[in-house]
Amino acid sequence: MAIGALVYVAFVLSFLAYSEGYINPPDYGGALLLLAGAWNLLLLIVTVLVIIDAVRKVRAGMTRELVRGLYFTKLAAIPFFVINFLLMAFFALVGTAIFLFGGMVLQAVAVISIGLTYFAMISTSIYGFASVIQLRRERQLETRMAVIYAVLLCIFVADIVAGVLLFRQYRSRERQVVAATASIEE
């Protein structure tokens, strides 16, 4: 996600440099498109690796690692999604404002980027889905709550809330187990 945020920053900086007359589009356009394509390919590869890792952790019953992975992945992705939202909103507004003069290109970029952004958001929810499965197997989540968490993990912003709540719920249960174990030992 940090690489994706840097790609967006590079796009914005190059646009600003172009608008100030410092560079010409042929000087950077191909490199930026290649960078964006490489980032999307990297995101796809990492997503497949995270799916494999999540399945392995569910099979091994590694609930703590799943919940922690969800928590830190969701929080680390916030800067990317904030930058992405601002840039897509800018493209959509400018595209609408200059619709008759090529704005459709900016709107098309915004629509395609929204789809890619949703894929990126879902890729950060993989540990969440695995956590829900594992917590349900351990009977730490009721079916109703598992469904609610799974749905929230598919919705922008709500996915972060779900990740934090799952992490807090697991940590609370973990503390209760430690406290109960300590009281039994006394």
Give me the number of domains the chain comprises: 1
Q: Which residue has the tokens 């922690």?
A: 68
Task: Enter the pTM of the model.
Answer: 0.81
Domain limits for position 54: 2-185
Instruction: Return d(Cα 124, Cα 5) in angstroms, integer.
Output: 15
Q: Residue 25: what pLDDT?
A: 57
Digit-coded pLDDT (tens) for 154-167: 999 999 999 999 99
At residue 15 the predicted structure's pLDDT band, cuts being 50, 70 and 90, is: low
- DSSP helix/strand/coil, 154: coil
pLDDT at 181 over 70: yes
Question: Which residues, including other chains, have CB under 8 Å from residue 130's CB and lie 6 or more apart?
Answer: 54, 55, 57, 58, 66, 70
At residue 26 the predicted structure's pLDDT band, cuts being 50, 70 and 90, is: low
**Contact yes or no for 3/77 (Cβ under 8 A):** no
Side-chain-facing half-sphere of 37: CA atoms under 13 Å: 6
Distances (CA, A) of 23 to 12, 15, 140: 13, 9, 57
Digit-coded pLDDT (tens) for 65-118: 999 999 999 999 998 898 888 887 877 777 777 665 655 766 677 778 888 889
**Contact yes or no for 38/77 (Cβ under 8 A):** no
